[in-house]
Amino acid sequence: MGMLVDGEWKDVWYDTKSTGGAFKREESSFRDSVTADGSSGFSAEAGRYHLFVSLACPWAHRTLIFRALKGLEKAITLSIVDPLMLEEGWEFSEPDDLTGAKRLYEVYLKAKPDYTGRVTVPVLWDKQKQTIVNNESAEIIRMLNSEFDDVAENPGLDFYPEPLRAEIDAINEMVYDRVNNGVYKAGFATEQDKYEKAVTSLCGALDMLEDRLARQRYIAGNRITEADWRLFTTLIRFDPVYVGHFKCNLRTLASYPNLWGYTRELYQVPGVAETVNFTHIKRHYYESHRKINGSGIVPLGPVLDHDAPHGRDRLPKAA
């Protein structure tokens, strides 16, 4: 694991010294937008854009789900990095078809030769301008949701509907802080108190979500929205990785009947299971983070049946 400093790769682990043992996530650096009308300088066109993802990464996973559900697989091409992220960061097993890069940081350097910062997935790449449009998953999924409708196979699907936006934004904020990033704050903490604070907050958030999902089908009401997909990519990794590797073990996901049924329902939405790769997920965390798991041994369990009936039909769903 490392980062680029003035265009040079440095192999360094996350700095938690300056924050008293707490993990602080860096802001994403490329923040341009693709728009349907091209007013941003990046117009939504079939074949122009490319996604770089890791199948292990929950943030990149959001973009894979939106690409699949919106029917953008033909319009937006894809490169997948190797599961392990070691001294050279994310790498490709074969030179990347599109850019010839062996390591993801080379793609960042093509966009900005003097780049300083972390080299993260997902990356939305513009083949025409040969640059990174955006590397913030929260923004990329909004673009996939609404800007590519002229080239999407399912243009009518909207995961960020106008009447629910305030509710979705509020949920996202809580879920980001306490759940999506919460598991990382627990796992990367290097002081006991920071770890305990993160896990306690995470568990409180899961209790709250469990209670909500006992009463309603989805997190923002009776239809699936962006808020569900953002939560899903953390939940699907919870028992296989976060309980053990990140020590988020006050409770397993499977011990929450509603959250677990909900996770299975989302997993069973056509197109979603194909975006979930448990081999990449488990290998990435357990083999890459040698400061956390020195041996690199990948646990065999837990045995979970994501295809079991989800039982959520008892709660109403929008037509």
- Which residues contact ligand GSH by CB under 6 A? 1, 28, 57, 59, 89, 118-122, 135-138
User: Is the peptide bond between 302 and the residue preceding it cis, with omega within 30 degrees of 0?
Assistant: yes
Catalytic status, residue 160: no
Nearest-5° angle of CA 218, CA 284, CA 90?
A: 105
Which residues fall within 8 angstroms of residue 8, CB to CB, at 6 or more apart? none
Would you call 177 helix, strand, or coil by DSSP? helix
Catalytic status, residue 195: no
d(CA 191, CA 109): 34
Q: Which is nearer to ligand GSH, 180 or 225 (CB)?
A: 180
Instruction: Give the torsion sign (CA, 258, 280, 7, 9).
Output: positive
118 is in an annotated binding site: yes
3-state SS, 182-247, equals HHHHHHHCCCHHHHHHHHHHHHHHHHHHHHHHHHCCECCECCCCHHHHHHHHHHHHHHHHHCCCCC
Would you call 4 helix, strand, or coil by DSSP? strand
137 is in an annotated binding site: yes
119 is in an annotated binding site: yes
Q: Which is nearer to ligand GSH, 80 or 213 (CB)?
A: 80
Q: State the nearest-atom distance from the C-beta of 261 to ligand GSH, in Å.
A: 26
136 is in an annotated binding site: yes
* Residue 178: both structure tokens together: 């306490």
From 14, 176, 184, 267, the catalytic residue: 184
Q: Which is nearer to ligand GSH, 122 or 261 (CB)?
A: 122
d(CA 109, CA 118): 12
Nearest-5° angle of CA 139, CA 44, CA 112?
A: 60
Q: State the nearest-atom distance from the C-beta of 114 to ligand GSH, in Å.
A: 18
Q: Which is nearer to ligand GSH, 118 or 217 (CB)?
A: 118
90 is in an annotated binding site: yes
From 57, 108, 115, 218, the catalytic residue: 57
Q: State the nearest-atom distance from the C-beta of 245 to ligand GSH, in Å.
A: 13
Q: State the nearest-atom distance from the C-beta of 73 to ligand GSH, in Å.
A: 20
Q: State the nearest-atom distance from the C-beta of 57 to ligand GSH, in Å.
A: 3
* Residue 121: both structure tokens together: 């997935």
Q: Which is nearer to ligand GSH, 135 or 172 (CB)?
A: 135
121 is in an annotated binding site: yes
Nearest to 119 by CA among 32, 240, 251, 9: 9
Cβ 268 vs Cβ 310: under 8 Å: yes
Q: Which residues are annotated as a binding site?
A: 90, 118-121, 136-137
- Catalytic residue numbers, as ranges: 57, 184
Q: Which residues are annotated as a binding site for glutathione?
A: 90, 118-121, 136-137
